[in-house]
Amino acid sequence: MTDPFYIYRPALELLGTSEGTDKGRGYNEALSYGAYTGGDRELVAMTLDQIDELQTAMLTHPKNKWNSSALGRYQIVRTTLRKIRKALRLTGRELFDEAMQDRMACFLLGGRGIDRWLAGKMSLNALLLALSKEWASLPTPKGKGYYGGQNASVSVGSVQAALYEVRRRRAEYGAPMQAAPDNGGGGTAAAGGAVVVVGTGAGAVTGADDWSGLAIWGGAALVLAVAGFVAWRNRDEIALAVYSLKTRFSGDKS
């Protein structure tokens, strides 16, 4: 599998269509096709810090009637991008390239519940509603835009078709479908391509009655070391679990 975002690619392609960026410059597209960025900009060659500066300039542009800083293929606004950077502990020196934009969009999909839906822990209508809050170009289950004054640019059927293809690919990949616990104890992440599950359960370490104390403590130390390594390897997924809980109650618009 050469595409690290293969499973979620149908949803990403849908967003490129709904946001209108694929008919323009795709990953290099900005709000109103560059009207508030001084023309076309090579966004994929800019660092995240440079993107933040550009978005700040967009918000102060006198003709920006939308008061928006949306840019990139998935039209991520400054407030959301800053939250993602904080959640993923990005330095700001990373490039806002195609891979980073895909990663961020998958992170947002995960935050809105796509992995819970894949695991059968969220209804399709609930997911549609959640996604319409993240991207105003997507419809609610009733086919309308979630935010007043802005219409959805694709049909409910189009969104459903993309999600069903994500589900088919998820089944094809063959990994277990597990959902993030509602209590925030663990989570799933879309940020790394295939769904990765961060478990909350701890395996019991048992031994025979004649084990020495040294062996018991040595085994415990090994378990802790492995757990620490797993936590470090899955830091994106842990960050997603925290971000997901915040997003479910904040209803931020992107």
| 250 against 126, higher pLDDT | 126
What are the tens digits of pLDDT across the range 108-153? 999 999 999 999 999 999 999 999 999 999 999 999 999 986 889 9
CA 183 to chain centre: 19
pLDDT tens digits, residue range 162-199? 999 999 999 998 654 433 333 333 333 333 333 332 22
Out of 58-72, 73-87, 188-202, 213-227, least confident range: 188-202
Exposure string of 14-45, with b = 16+ CB inside 10 Å and e = fewer, is bbbebbebbeebebbbbbbebebbeeebebbe
pLDDT over 90 (residue 234)? no
What percent of the chain clears pLDDT 90, i.e. is strictly above it? 64
Radius of gyration, alpha carbons of the chain: 20
**pLDDT of 41 higher than 50:** yes
**CA-to-CA distance for 165 and 9, rounded, in angstroms?**
9
Strand runs labelled E in the chain: 187-189, 196-198
CB 59 within 8 A of CB 69: yes
Task: Tell me the two tokens of residue 106.
Answer: 């998958």
pLDDT tier for residue 86 given thresholds of 50, 70 and 90 = very high
| pLDDT given for residue 173 in this prediction | 85
For residues 76-100, average pLDDT: 98
Q: Which of 83, 86, 99 is nearest to 27 (CA)?
A: 99
Give the residue, 182 or 6, on which the prediction is more confident.
6
Question: How buried is residue 64: exposed, middle or buried, by Cβ count under 10 Å (0-12/13-18/19+)?
Answer: middle
| 29 vs 201: CA distance, rounded Å | 43
pTM of the model as a whole: 0.72
Average pLDDT, the chain: 79
Distance CA 108, CA 140 (A): 17
Neighbours of 60 (CB within 10 A): 9
Q: For residue 247, what pLDDT is reported? A: 55
Q: Is the dihedral of CA 147, 18, 35, 96 positive or negative?
A: positive
Q: What share of the chain is helix, strand, coil (3-state, %, to 5)?
A: 50, 5, 45
